[in-house]
Amino acid sequence: MKNKFYVTTPIYYGTAKPHLGSLYSTLLADVVARWNKLNGKDVFFLTGIDEHGQKIEQAAAKAGMDPKEFVDSFIKEYKDTWHKYHIDYTKFIRTTDPYHIQAVQKWIKDLIKKGDIYKSFYEGWYCTPCETFVTKKDASKKEDESCQPFCPSCDRATIAIAEESYFFKLSAYQDKLLHFYKQHPEFIVPKERTKEVVNFVKSGLRDLSISRTTVKWGVPFPGDEKHVAYVWADALNNYITAVGYAQKGRENELKKWWPADLQVMGKDIIRFHAIYWPAFLMASDLALPKQLLVHGWIKIDQKKMSKSLGNVVDPLVLLQKYGADPVRYYLVRQMAITHDSDFSIKDLERHIASDLANDLGNLVRRMVTLAYKNDLAIVPAINSWSEKSRDLRDASWNIIDDFQSYMEDCQFHMALARLWKFINQVNSYFHEQEPWKIVKTDKQKFVEIINATAHSLRVIAYLLWPVMPKKMEDLLSRLGITFDLHNNMLQDLELGRWHHAFTLHKGEPLFVKPELMKESVEQDTVQEKEKKEDYISIDDVVKVQLRVGTIEQCEEIPKSQKLYKLQVNFGKFGIKQVLSGIKNYFTPEQLVGRQAVFIFNLKPRKMMGLESHGMILTAKDEDNFSLISPTTQIENGIQLK
C-alpha cells in the first residue's frame, strides 16, 4: 500500500486534562497527517488515552473515585480540546475498550505459547509517575535516606517492589534490535537519538517484567488472575489493536495499515518505543514501524511543562485568547522538534503580530483592498508575465520543493522558516512594484501584479494548510477557491502553471494582533522613559540574548544605500531575517558563510518595508570596521555568556 499513511500519537495518561505538552505531540501528528492528505494519501491517524496502571489507580483513589469513572471524566476534555484545535484524528482508542483488552490477552497467550513470556519473580524499584521499572544501574545518582534510587527519567524517588511477575524475554532480542538499527538508520528522527538507544541496548538488555500482582487496575492476565498486565505492555499494543490486531474479521484492516509509517512521541518515552515495542513486534512476527519522530519538551523557564511541577499551560485558555491556528503555527514554528524549547506568551504574541498579522495578513488585506478600490474583484488570467513576476513565479516553484523536502524530513520549523522567506519575497515584490501608483498609468500591469500576488498566496495557503487548516481555507476563499482535498492541489501546484483567474473577496482581517501586544509595547515605552542610571544590573544584562548565527544569504535591498538583507541561521531557532547597515563595508561574498554575533531578542522592526529580526554586532574605529565573530566555529544559536 504505497498510498497509505498511518500515523500515531502516544496515548495520554488519563489522569488529567490535556496540557500544551500533550497538544504538541498530537499537533505534530496532525500536521503530518494533513500533509500526507494534501499529497493524496489515504491517512489513518490514531490517538487516545492510556487508562490502566498504578498511576491511575492511585490518582483515582485520591479523588475518591472508581478508576474507570475517573478516566471517563477526562475523555470529553481530550476530545473537545482536539476538536477545537482542528485535530482531525481517525480513531480515538481507550485501553479500557473491550476489543483492546481481548487483543492484549491474545498477544500474551500467544507469546507464552511461543516461550517469549515466562513466570518468575521481580525484586527492584519502580517509578509510578513514569510507570517504569528502575534498576540500580540506570537509577540517577542521588538516593534518599532509605537508599531508594531516583528515577533517571523524572528524578523522583522510586518505590521498592518484590513480587511474582511474568517476564518478556527482551534479552533474546538484543542482537536482532542492534541489527535492525544498523539496517534502518532512518528509523529514529532525529538521527542523533539513535545513539542513546543503541548504547542502551549494547549495555545489555534484561528481561522485562510485564505483569503486576500489587496493582489491580489493568488488563487481567490470561490464565493467572492474580496478575494484571504491566501498563506499558498493554499500552504499546494499542497501535496494532486499533487497526484490528488479533480480532476476527479485521485482518484486512491490519494488513492495510500496519506497519505505522510514523509514530510521534516525546523524548521521555523513546526507550519504550525504540526498544521494547520493536522487540514485542518481532516476537509477534509483525513488521516494525517505519519511523519514530521523537520531539523535545516544551519548557517554561527551562523546566519541563508537567502537571507534577504545576507549570502547565491550558491549551483552551490560549485558544480563547488567540484562536487555534495561531497557536498551532507558533508551536510548529518555534518549537524545533529536535530540541527542548521554552514557551512564552510574549513570544507567542510577538509571532502572531509579526509573522501572521503583519507579514501574511496585511499582504492579503492590502492586495484585496487595492483590487476592490480599483474595481478588480475579478482578476483575469495573465498570458504574458514581466520579468519581476516571472522571478516571483520561479521563487514559488522553489519554495514548493524546499518545503516538501523539509516536511519529508520532519523539519517542520525549517519548512515554516523557509516559507516565511517566500512570504517576505512576495511582500517585497508588492512593495517594490507600487501597484497603487501603477494603476493610474498602466492598468494591464496593475492586473498582472494583483494576479501574481494572488498566485503566490495560493501556493502559501496550500503549503500552510497542514499547520493552519481553517485560516488557510479562509485565505483561499478570499481568492475565490474552495478548499477540496480531492483536487490534489499539490500536484497542481507542482506543475507551476500560473494561468488562473481569481475572484477576490473582502473579509475580516485574517489575523488579529493580540491585544496584549499593545500593553507590552506600552510597558516597554514606559520603561524606556524611566530615568537612566549609569549602571545596569545583571538582570538587565541577561535580558539581552546574544547569539551566534551564520549568514547564509546576503542580498541588496533596492533603493537602499546602506542596508543588506541577511538570512541568518540560528540552528535550532531557525533562519531569521536581519537587515543590517553594513553594505558600505562588505561585499555579499565576504559575508556569506561567516559567523557573527547578533542581538537575538530585539523587537522586530520594519525598514524599507521589510522586517528585521535582530541586530548584528560590529565595532568601528577611524580605520576599521569589524564584525564581532567567534574565533572558532561555534554551534549556531548558542547564546553568549
DSSP, residue by residue, 38-94: HTT-EEEEEEEEE--SHHHHHHHHHTTS-HHHHHHHHHHHHHHHHHHTT---SEEEE
- Residue with smaller CB distance to ligand MSP, 236 or 467: 236
Choices 9-17, 219-227, 392-400, 542-550 (CB under 6 A): range interacting with ligand MSP: 9-17
- Residue with smaller CB distance to ligand MSP, 299 or 513: 299
Q: DSSP alpha helices (H): ranges in 85-224?
A: 98-114, 174-183, 192-202
**Maximal CA-CA distance, the chain:** 89
268 binds ligand MSP (CB under 6 A): yes
- Residue with smaller CB distance to ligand MSP, 339 or 431: 339
Residue of the chain from 5, 6, 7, 12 that contacts ligand MSP (CB under 6 A): 12
Residue of the chain from 235, 270, 460, 546 that contacts ligand MSP (CB under 6 A): 235
CB 613 within 8 A of CB 563: no
Choices 18-26, 101-109, 345-353, 422-430 (CB under 6 A): range interacting with ligand MSP: 18-26
236 binds ligand MSP (CB under 6 A): yes
Choices 120-128, 233-241, 426-434, 538-546 (CB under 6 A): range interacting with ligand MSP: 233-241
467 binds ligand MSP (CB under 6 A): no
Strand partners, 159: 126
Choices 119-127, 133-141, 230-238, 629-637 (CB under 6 A): range interacting with ligand MSP: 230-238
Q: What is the 3-class SS of 529-585, one letter each residue?
A: HCCCCCCCCHHHHHHCCEEEEEEEEEEECCCCCCCEEEEEECHHHCEEEEEECCCCC
> Which H or E element spans position 123?
strand 117-127
Residues 30-69 that bind ligand MSP (CB under 6 A): 50
What does the alpha-carbon distance between residue 149 and residue 136 come to, in Å, rounded to a whole number? 7
Choices 8-16, 414-422, 452-460, 555-563 (CB under 6 A): range interacting with ligand MSP: 8-16
Cell of 502: 481569481
CB 89 within 8 A of CB 44: no
- Residue with smaller CB distance to ligand MSP, 62 or 443: 62
Q: Burial, 616: exposed, middle or buried (Cβ in 10 Å; 0-12, 13-18, 19+)?
A: buried
| Distances in whole angstroms, Cα of residue 498 to Cα of each of 304, 383, 457, 492 | 47, 9, 12, 10
Residue of the chain from 5, 6, 7, 11 that contacts ligand MSP (CB under 6 A): 11
Q: Which of 295, 268, 259, 296 is nearest to 180 (CA)?
A: 259
Q: How far is the CB of 279 from ligand MSP (least distance, A)?
A: 14
CB 20 within 8 A of CB 318: yes
Residue of the chain from 266, 289, 315, 326 that contacts ligand MSP (CB under 6 A): 266
Choices 33-41, 59-67, 166-174, 231-239 (CB under 6 A): range interacting with ligand MSP: 231-239
Q: How far is the CB of 630 from ligand MSP (least distance, A)?
A: 31
Q: Cα-flanking dihedrals φ and ψ of residue 298, to 5°?
A: -85, 130
Q: How many residues bind ligand MSP (CB under 6 A)?
A: 21
- Residue with smaller CB distance to ligand MSP, 46 or 563: 46
Q: How far is the CB of 263 from ligand MSP (least distance, A)?
A: 9
Cα Rg for the chain, rounded, in angstroms?
A: 28
21 binds ligand MSP (CB under 6 A): yes
What does the alpha-carbon distance between residue 313 and residue 337 come to, in Å, rounded to a whole number? 19
- Residue with smaller CB distance to ligand MSP, 268 or 391: 268
| Distances in whole angstroms, Cα of residue 437 to Cα of each of 7, 358, 360 | 50, 22, 22
Q: How far is the CB of 131 from ligand MSP (least distance, A)?
A: 7
- Residue with smaller CB distance to ligand MSP, 21 or 190: 21
What does the alpha-carbon distance between residue 175 and residue 172 come to, in Å, rounded to a whole number? 8
Cell of 439: 494603476
Contact characters 294-333, ligand MSP, x per CB under 6 A: ---xx-----xxx---------------------------
Q: How far is the CB of 386 from ligand MSP (least distance, A)?
A: 48
Q: How far is the CB of 259 from ligand MSP (least distance, A)?
A: 15
18 binds ligand MSP (CB under 6 A): no
Q: How far is the CB of 68 from ligand MSP (least distance, A)?
A: 17
104 binds ligand MSP (CB under 6 A): no
- Residue with smaller CB distance to ligand MSP, 105 or 306: 306
CB 7 within 8 A of CB 264: yes
Q: DSSP alpha helices (H): ranges in 246-373?
A: 251-257, 270-271, 277-283, 315-322, 324-334, 345-351, 362-373
Binding region for ligand MSP (CB under 6 A): 10-13, 21-22, 24-25, 50, 235-236, 238, 265-266, 268-269, 297-298, 304-306
